[in-house]
Structure 1
Amino acid sequence: ERLEAESAVNAEWYASRVARLAAEQEVGLAATEWGRFIACSERPNVMSEAEVNAFLTEWRERSREDIWKTLPTCTMATELIASMDVEGAHAHDRGDEKMAMWQRELSMLIFEQLLSKLDGATADFMLHAEEYVNAKMECCVTVAARGCHFGLWVNLAKNPRVKSIEYANLNISVELPKSLALASIAVRIVQYETDFVSPYASPEAAAAATFMTLGGVVKIELLSLPPSAKKVKGWTMRPVTEMTHTVMRQQYPIPDASGNIPLNAPPLRITYAIPKNVILQESEPQRVGWWDDKVQQWKLDEISDIAYTPETRTISFDTLHLTSLALLQHTHLELPYKNWLISPTTASSGELYLQTSGVGLVHISISANGTVLKAPRLPELKELLDTPLPASTLLIRLRAAGINLMPRDVDATQLERVTPKDASLEVELHDAIAPLAARYHLCSSRWNPSRGHAKGTLRFAVKEEGYGDEAPSTETPAEPFAVIQPEWATLEYAKRRVLLIAATDADDTCDESALPETVAHSTPLECLKDRDPDLADVLLSSSRLYQDSVRQLMDNLRLLSFTQSA
């Protein structure tokens, strides 16, 4: 009853916090909208469902164009989808589930239309392939469009001496078995800068995934050739078939005349370049997987002889699966976290230091303007460093670069002694403790992992030295965790119940009894306001956008679920 009474008394104060956050968000969204306006971008506003729908409708109704006119529009589509994926995650973090849902749905429809446009342009090229042969009777077209590299080899010569296809300007090659060199087929490769495959798996398949892609996805397909044109009295006669309008895919190995699939078919060897903004960690062996549409998961079977060449950043491998292929990395490579610390620099800014099991120390500055990556300062992260971004945007781009700091419950199954907290507890806890980042150091507690899924513990201490400087240093200290003291107080959080407990990290056992002269409260603020008379004034002066950035980071990082303190 006392906890319920506290909640009732504080209802007005919490309502005012919600109103302040909404007002600050409105100012931020207005500034973002103005930035889009003065940029005069041709791309539709990804926060406007009407604009995105209008783009999709206009593109769908546009007549078929050749491959050189189609690819620039595909570039815009890939950039639009990537932006919508990021904005959708940010909308989810803000609690705008309606926007997140329509952005995901429209992203899927735009990608379906992209595939349809590529098929139409490919069919158009193959109808006139004989017009594009070179002096060696070879027919190969490449378009290095941004975000969507396209290559198509049409086998008109059927020359048994052809051993490989070099897709000029794409840094992609395919070694062919003799059976394909003699077949009436085309080999199409599309390299997407972003993974447009696994993010659109079913929620159940996505929740079970333990691999993520590095460097986008390469899709290779065998296509049937349309019937040849005939010259009759100066006229060119082209049969009208299904392949006049779209492509017809072939399986590999190609069935024989009786429909039987040959046994022991030789694999194709594929080589392509990994982008320079992708980190390949030495502790992780190179794995290449193929996408199984039926189960909506990446699989590793029947891909062999994988070789990586650091000098050219190329990956080579043999495969019998001609479908979406990608370099894969385990999603839990950075886990478990070894330590973390959130340290305020002013009432509206702070620093997050996170020690991971992969790249090591990650340093993120937090303010009302969002989050800024300060470390690790790796060349692959050059475009991300020192740039303000929403929390989810930064973490999504770090994941694309090979640093996954967005763990899910399935990652715990790959680790020892890691028990994720209940999802509802995490959300409630992060929302409750984020305001404390305006005044307190917050850090991991050695007792947190052993509290199970229904409780969480963390430590805190008032930040005094250097606090409130107008221009705080954001350089990464050599020993950021040296400030943490074993005697710092421990806060224990359960559903709608917060308690300052006797246990500290200096103790041999966890004493969960209340500190002298304290009782359980409904929120951390109730626990601390009598002990810290300045807390209320600090929170009034603190930006709600800063506090919400802390909350969003914690929601995504899941620090209390995936930290194993030493």
Structure 2
Amino acid sequence: HKKNQKLKKQREEEERRQIEEEEALQAEREIKQREIERLELKDLERRDNELEELRYLLEKNQIAVTELKRDAEENVQWERYLRCDVQPDPEDQRKVNSFITFWRDDTELKTTEVLKQCHIAVRLVEEIEDLLKKATSPQKIQTYQESLRSLQELIYFKHNLTSEEILKSANKNIDIKTRNFQTVIKDENITMCLWANLCKNPSLKLFNFEEVGLGFKLSKPLAKSNIAVRVIHTRYDHLSMISRITHPRAHTTSRRSSVSSDQILRDSSVQKGEDDDGIPEQKSKKVLSIQEEGKTKDPNPGGRGSQIFTQMEALKAESQVIPQPITRHASPVVDLMEYTPLGGVFYYEMFHLPHQAYTVGQYVMQQISDKGLQVFLHPTETSSFRDNEDSTCPPVGASVTLPDRVVFFEPPHVARLDATCEQWRMDGISDIAYEEAEAKLSFSMETFQPFVLMQKTYLNLPFQSWELRPLGRSSALFTIEGALFNLSITIQGNQCMLQLEQERGLSHLVGKWMSTPALKKAMLDAGVNIFVDEYTENYVSSCNKVGIIYLMDPLAEHAAYNQMALFASACAFSRSKWNAKCGAEHVVLQVCEHHDPSPVPKSSWSLYLLGAQRSKKLEMTEDSEAFSSEHHPNSEFHSTFIHLLQDSLSPDGLDRTKTSYCMFIDTIQSLLHSTRPLVYSETI
């Protein structure tokens, strides 16, 4: 009996203890809930003022940036006017048309003069390409595209004229060792190699232009043919440009597509406790009118040039004799979103050797032809040499030294031009051999044709880690650890400087100060890509896997970038592995106030939770075992990220944010929006 009473008493005490604990926990929860309600109410009361202040700061900065950029553009136009530049204004279509007409009719055949004019045309093409990217009017888009095609064909036409003129006198410049003719012509845009088969030695198989690292391999029938081989390596790539124009992508815009700063401001101002289900449609921007455009003329050069193949006609003539393989699975046509051509284009072409001059007594005799260079169609025209040989024509070979000013982080892919549809293809290429130590690539193909070296566009994604930390007033360091390479970008005002472990061939890029657009273009051209666009998620293999890259609200993400830029002079920001655990409507990142150039101590970081409605400092740390949205004690809620940061900033830190240079803020915004580190970073 006593034992039962004792057990009963113990049970009653245990029940009373549990009730007391539950009551204490409930009281604690009620206290926390009242505190949260108090903080939410306080945040709601000042919400309009905070949003208005943020809008004012961003608009003020944008107005200042716009004025500076407009002044800079006016200075460029004025300097062009003072120079009396022979290169026409790309926005004045009448002047562009006049340039094309006058140059087409120019009979100059001297190589140096022709290449000078080609250089001007290439610069003009680059400027028109920039205008095309910005154009919104269908009429302007069509006009720019027609101008680009005309200039591209005219450059090729001029290359043909000067090549023909040189090859006509090939027998006067025979190389003693090979008993053939060969020459190399170079300028800053192209390397042109010409070879004429004068001795027709059937044992000749391979020839290298040693000084430029280019070579070719002939089949025996070709070695006995009356042919000339031309190899042109252009530092630019007009063929990919034409391919993009001819075959524009029809992707559905990504759910993580870019959102403009204006849209962020507009949307944040109307969010009074309501969540948006989608991304509001952006306002169309007014485009300044430019001078009256005339219609471009026929892109095919007239006169004598009308009897010479244009570039695409010549390339199509060659491609017609190449059997097109049937693929049952993946298409061999290159997706120019997934792959990026690097280092320019290699044009490998064969022509009938022009009639050579010969001396009869005191006279020099030469058969005159107005047909220009004639494409030698291989293998069709070598069939007469086969007789009893196998009906399969041996392939030709090409070898190239990888272009300087470009980095390949993996063995390059080779793609040939299918001129019939103006697209790059990866089929028809065989016997690929890559010598990494010598940076040399060799392969075989059915016939000589243009080709490019390619690299996967997003091979460095997702980022393993990233950090943005201040180095001083209006100065910061943006560091990215990628899937294959690491880099850092130093920002000083509106100038950026790239630092990269891999420096081979990048002396023109690494350690050089340049504007953000110039840096981005130079990095993309060099194969050093960290930039994303609205299609990137379709090509980054891990980007849709939960726990690797998380789909988040674009409004929250882009608002974060804008506000990070405002405080980049005083605060350091870094990736958090918890970004995938906080929900799509929120962003988690590490932040701390930091002023000196030294690295941020690990203990200095704090976690912040950002949302479209409010932001807060978290109690948890990066090393916590599980995610918790509990706010940090003695901290408050705010409708904007910058007001939350202001609560803990020192007076010096606040002063730094108020005196940041507008172009520095704009540069940081541009880098963050174009790399999107909050999305394209591994999390766990």
TM range (shorter): 0.7 to 0.9
CA distance 1:374–1:167, shift in 2 (3 Å): closer
Aligned partner (choices 344, 350, 356) of residue 216 of structure 1: 344
| Partner SS state of residue 382, structure 1 | coil
The residue that corresponds to 2:67 in the other structure is 23
The residue that corresponds to 2:157 in the other structure is 116
Q: Which moved more, 1:425-434 or 1:314-323?
A: 425-434
CA distance 1:11–1:309, shift in 2 (3 Å): closer
C-alpha contact (below 8 Å) 1:305/1:317 kept by paired residues: yes
| Partner SS state of residue 567, structure 2 | helix
The residue that corresponds to 2:116 in the other structure is 72
CA distance 1:240–1:378, shift in 2 (3 Å): closer
**1:26 & 1:291 partners in 2: Cα distance?**
40
1:176 Cα deviation from its structure 2 partner = 0.9
- Larger RCO: 1 or 2 (CA < 8 Å, sep 6+): 2
C-alpha contact (below 8 Å) 1:209/1:297 kept by paired residues: no
CA distance 1:219–1:454, shift in 2 (3 Å): farther
The residue that corresponds to 1:306 in the other structure is 433
**2:105 & 2:441 partners in 1: Cα distance?**
39
Q: Please show how residues 76-475 of structure 1 align to structure 2 within 5 Å.
A: 76-78=120-122, 81=125, 109-126=150-167, 129-130=170-171, 132-133=173-174, 138-167=180-209, 169-202=211-244, 203-204=248-249, 209-225=337-353, 236=365, 238=367, 240=369, 243-244=371-372, 247-248=374-375, 250-252=377-379, 254=381, 256=383, 264-281=392-409, 284-293=410-419, 294=421, 296-299=423-426, 301-308=428-435, 310-311=437-438, 313-360=439-486, 362-376=487-501, 378-407=503-532, 408-413=536-541, 417-418=548-549, 429-449=560-580, 456-464=587-595, 466=596
1:169 Cα deviation from its structure 2 partner = 3.9
1:411 Cα deviation from its structure 2 partner = 3.3
Q: Which moved more, 1:438-447 or 1:64-73?
A: 64-73
Aligned partner (choices 511, 533, 536) of residue 628 of structure 2: 511
Question: Any idea what the Cα deviations from partners look like across 1:161-201, whole Å, max 9, x if unmatched?
Answer: 33233336433221211121123432221112234433543
Larger Rg: 2
C-alpha contact (below 8 Å) 2:197/2:223 kept by paired residues: yes
**2:584 & 2:449 partners in 1: Cα distance?**
40
C-alpha contact (below 8 Å) 1:219/1:324 kept by paired residues: yes
Question: Any idea what the Cα deviations from partners look like across 1:352-381, whole Å, max 9, x if unmatched?
Answer: 111122223x12111223101234373433
CA distance 1:291–1:444, shift in 2 (3 Å): farther
**1:144 & 1:287 partners in 2: Cα distance?**
26
1:149 Cα deviation from its structure 2 partner = 0.6
CA distance 1:66–1:31, shift in 2 (3 Å): closer
Letter of the 1:22 counterpart: T
The residue that corresponds to 1:469 in the other structure is none
Letter of the 1:307 counterpart: Y
| Partner SS state of residue 505, structure 2 | helix
1:460 Cα deviation from its structure 2 partner = 1.9
Q: Which moved more, 1:341-350 or 1:543-552?
A: 341-350
1:97 Cα deviation from its structure 2 partner = 7.4
Letter of the 2:160 counterpart: D
Q: Which moved more, 1:324-333 or 1:229-238?
A: 229-238
C-alpha contact (below 8 Å) 2:222/2:382 kept by paired residues: no
Q: Which has the higher strand share?
A: 1
| Partner SS state of residue 559, structure 1 | coil
Cα RMSD (Å)? 4.4
TM-score, normalization by structure 1: 0.78
- Among all aligned residue pairs of Structure 1 and Structure 2, give the percentage whose two residues are the same amino acid: 19
C-alpha contact (below 8 Å) 2:230/2:348 kept by paired residues: yes
| Partner SS state of residue 577, structure 2 | coil
Instruction: Name stretches of at least 5 consecutive residues in structure 2 with no aligned partner.
Output: 1-43, 251-333
1:49 Cα deviation from its structure 2 partner = 5.4
Letter of the 1:357 counterpart: A
CA distance 1:526–1:383, shift in 2 (3 Å): same
Question: Any idea what the Cα deviations from partners look like across 1:480-523, whole Å, max 9, x if unmatched?
Answer: 4x5344851323245xx4523636423333334666764462x4
Q: Which moved more, 1:331-340 or 1:449-458?
A: 449-458
CA distance 1:449–1:75, shift in 2 (3 Å): farther
1:560 Cα deviation from its structure 2 partner = 2.0
Letter of the 2:480 counterpart: L
**2:72 & 2:443 partners in 1: Cα distance?**
47
1:543 Cα deviation from its structure 2 partner = 0.7
C-alpha contact (below 8 Å) 2:466/2:575 kept by paired residues: yes
**1:424 & 1:121 partners in 2: Cα distance?**
56
C-alpha contact (below 8 Å) 1:64/1:117 kept by paired residues: no
Instruction: Name stretches of at least 5 consecutive residues in structure 1 with no aligned partner.
Output: 467-472
The residue that corresponds to 2:616 in the other structure is 500
Letter of the 2:59 counterpart: A
Q: Which moved more, 1:500-509 or 1:110-119?
A: 500-509
1:138 Cα deviation from its structure 2 partner = 2.2
1:68 Cα deviation from its structure 2 partner = 4.4
**1:224 & 1:427 partners in 2: Cα distance?**
59
The residue that corresponds to 2:27 in the other structure is none
C-alpha contact (below 8 Å) 2:610/2:641 kept by paired residues: no
Letter of the 2:232 counterpart: V
